[in-house]
Amino acid sequence: MILVFGSLNIDLVAQVPVIPGPGRTVLAPSYGMDFGGKGANQAVAAARIGGAGRVRMAGRVGHDGFGNDAIENLAANGVDTGLVIRSDEPTGCAFITVDRAGENAITVASGANMAASASDLPAGFFAADTLLVLQMEVAFAQSLAAARRTKSASGTVLWNLAPVPEQVTAPMITELLAVTDYLLVNEHEARDSAAAIGLASSDYETAAGHLAKAGDLTCIVTAGAQGALAATADGTCLRVPAPHITPVDTTGAGDTFAGALAAVLSETMPLEAAMRVGCEAAAQKCLKRGAQAGMPQRSALSSLA
């Protein structure tokens, strides 16, 4: 079973000529509303690759229309929503600008996401076959508690350390590494998290190796057009290339990789196979606009043919 504990957002997206810097305003002809939140994104990606009924989403939304929409969307994508709880805070919302090159900038108003609690997860959901998927958009202490409960039940933890908090500390990273089996980061997150525990690195491959050894885990780095890299605690390094594409919108690409990776790992496929699926799924997502709209179905992936 894949259990995703994390954020659910509504994304408001504007296409702009250039992403504005401080003090600058740009005009967009219109905006669109999409479903997002790193947790919900990864749950949808995992369900599209792994199949309906294999993914459960746990988190919180508000007593509002956005909350209704978020729950209905997850259910429509085959995600079990029985652990999505209503909160007094409003449903989380993300404000996204996407430029002509497909790059994006995102501001997230957390809302109900910060009320998500590990106590929302019944004990019966933790077992040896549980693959818990975490991110960094709900309270860290609650994610850590959920990870510890998973490890106590001999389950597996896949932690996407994104986004790295502004006030990240060495104890935080040390605690996270201690309960994680697969640490998923991008190039910047790899270097930032390694630096936080005193392991400064000039490149993400070295940072991944440091993190893998420090936590006795597998550290997977997504590197966009360069594909993905995995470093293991014994010093092994595995590289998988990314398909060559011209991206339209990179929003949600990392979440697509994470969800696809979780889906394939839960089927006990080898890590290299899971990474290839993740790279192909993320590339296909980049060819369409929206965080979830472009996430592929299993049947569309040649790496799973």
Where in the sequence numbering do the catalytic residues fall?
Answer: 255
Residue 33 and residue 303: Cα distance in Å, rounded? 31
Q: Which residue has the tokens 């630096």?
A: 195
Cα torsion 266, 269, 275, 281: sign: negative
Token pair belonging to 295: 């996430």
Cα torsion 193, 198, 203, 207: sign: negative
| DSSP one-letter code for 118 | G
Residue 179 and residue 256: Cα distance in Å, rounded? 23
Kind of pairing, strands 237-240 and 228-231?
antiparallel
Cα torsion 300, 303, 304, 305: sign: positive
Give the annotated binding-site residues for ATP: 186, 222-227, 254-255
Q: List the alpha helices (DSSP H) in the chain.
A: 38-50, 65-76, 140-152, 170-178, 187-196, 204-215, 253-265, 271-285
Give the annotated binding-site residues for K(+): 249, 251, 285, 288, 290
Residue 296 and residue 151: Cα distance in Å, rounded? 31
Residue 205 and residue 140: Cα distance in Å, rounded? 26
Give the annotated binding-site residues for substrate: 9-11, 37-41, 137, 255
Give the annotated binding-site residues: 9-11, 37-41, 137, 186, 222-227, 249, 251, 254-255, 285, 288, 290
